[in-house]
């Protein structure tokens, strides 16, 4: 029975991925930080405690007998950043920590290393054309910069070792249990307040969590994935007004959208210090996921419509 080490196994993506791999017959070794509750892991996982990931974190004990690593753990977006040098903090975990894990994995005889990256490596506004794997990277913040540096380091390590690397870049991931920006949007729509997005004509790609899990599971085993970078999406892009309308309909509400020029909204974002948040609502971020569909035969099992409905049902039931 092959063994996979999953970092970030207690997270939003890590839990369903760990469960999926265990159900498929893998031995799943799941990382925990000191003090984390073992009961937070899905049934069938072998817990292994590691120190916070960094450039010198010892990981040999976690990698013994491991065939594949799926690396999800990361320092993610911080809403209220307090670090004096945010890029340095992201690099310590996401760039140098990932490289450290990969080097020790190669030394331990790991055959494949699957890395969870971000579409932010491509940029933050795709414009008229969807992002592809062939675009010149244009990371737009410390987080995406650190992820690009990690991808580069992984390729260098793999070229000098008998270890295959697969990088996966995802747009906003949503689904039941989502702790981030999508939850904030659900709360806003649920309040039924007028929203100033009726004039917005953007295109944005999304990725349902179960679709991401399927892609990651496929990337662990498919021979054609070795050495590749893949972009993921559900396959149906939505404008901000369309997304709000679908969420409202799933809640049994009618969307309340009012026409406000995009220039006015962008000015408001600048003066309130929320420029990045406004850009996410106004700009386009479309992702072309045809490469992984064509080369690996990946078919997202959940449609955008079904994914949004499941997410809203969880939100309403949880009373968040």
Which of 225, 297, 217, 226 is closest to 26 using CA atoms? 217
Question: CA 118: distance to chain centroid?
Answer: 6
Residue spans of the chain under pLDDT 50: none
Q: Which long-range contacts (CB under 8 A, 24 or more apart) does 294-297 make?
A: 295/224, 295/225, 295/228, 296/218, 296/219, 296/222, 296/224, 296/225, 296/230, 297/218
Q: What is the pLDDT of residue 187?
A: 94
Instruction: Quote the CA–CA distance of 279 and 141 in Å, as a whole number.
Output: 13
pLDDT of 21: 97
Query: CATH second-level architecture of 3-175+206-235+285-301?
Result: 3-Layer(aba) Sandwich (3.40)
Residue 230 forms beta bridges with which residues? Answer: 168
Domain ranges for the chain, please list them. Answer: 3-175+206-235+285-301
pLDDT of residue 79: 62
Q: Tokens for 145?
A: 């910069």
Q: Are 90 and 74 contacting, i.e. CB atoms less than 8 angstroms apart?
A: no
Cβ atoms of 69 and 7 closer than 8 Å: yes
The catalytically annotated residue of 131, 143, 174, 230 is: 143
Give the chain's mean pLDDT.
Answer: 95
pLDDT of residue 192: 92
pLDDT digits (tens, 9 = 90+) for 163-200: 999 999 999 999 999 878 899 999 999 999 899 999 99
Return the closest-CA partner of residue 243 out of 199, 286, 293, 203.
Answer: 203
pLDDT per position as a tens digit, 84-120: 898 999 999 999 999 999 999 999 999 999 999 999 9
* Alpha carbon distance 295, 291 (integer Å): 6
Q: Is 143 a catalytic residue?
A: yes
């Amino acid at each position: 029975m092959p063994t996979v080490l999953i970092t970030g196994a207690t997270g939003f993506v890590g839990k369903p991925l760990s469960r999926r791999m265990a159900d498929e017959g893998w031995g799943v070794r799941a990382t925990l930080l000191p003090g984390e509750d073992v009961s937070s892991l899905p049934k069938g996982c072998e817990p292994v405690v590691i120190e916070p990931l960094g450039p010198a974190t010892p990981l040999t004990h976690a990698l013994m007998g491991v065939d594949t690593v799926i690396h999800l753990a990361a320092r993610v977006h911080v809403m209220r950043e307090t670090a004096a040098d945010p890029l340095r903090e992201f690099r310590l975990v996401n760039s140098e920590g990932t490289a450290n894990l990969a080097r020790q994995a190669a030394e331990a005889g790991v055959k494949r290393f699957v890395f969870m990256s971000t579409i932010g490596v491509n940029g933050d506004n795709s414009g008229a054309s969807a992002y592809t794997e062939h675009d010149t990277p244009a990371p737009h913040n410390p987080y995406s910069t650190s992820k690009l540096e990690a991808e580069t380091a992984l390729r260098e390590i793999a070229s000098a070792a008998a270890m295959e690397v697969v990088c996966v870049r995802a747009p906003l991931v949503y689904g039941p249990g989502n702790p981030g920006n999508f939850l904030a949007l659900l709360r806003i729509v649920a309040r039924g307040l007028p929203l100033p997005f009726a004039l917005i004509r953007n295109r944005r790609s999304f990725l349902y969590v179960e679709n991401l899990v399927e892609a990651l599971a496929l990337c662990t085993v498919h021979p054609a994935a070795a050495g590749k970078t893949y972009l993921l999406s559900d396959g149906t892009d939505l404008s901000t007004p369309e997304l709000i309308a679908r969420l409202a309909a799933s809640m049994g509400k009618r969307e309340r959208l009012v026409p406000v020029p995009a220039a006015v909204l962008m000015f408001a974002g600048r003066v309130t210090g929320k420029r990045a948040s406004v850009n996410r609502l106004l700009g386009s971020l479309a992702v072309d996921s045809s490469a992984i569909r064509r080369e690996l035969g990946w078919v997202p099992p959940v449609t955008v419509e079904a994914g949004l409905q499941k997410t809203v049902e969880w939100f309403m039931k949880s009373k968040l």
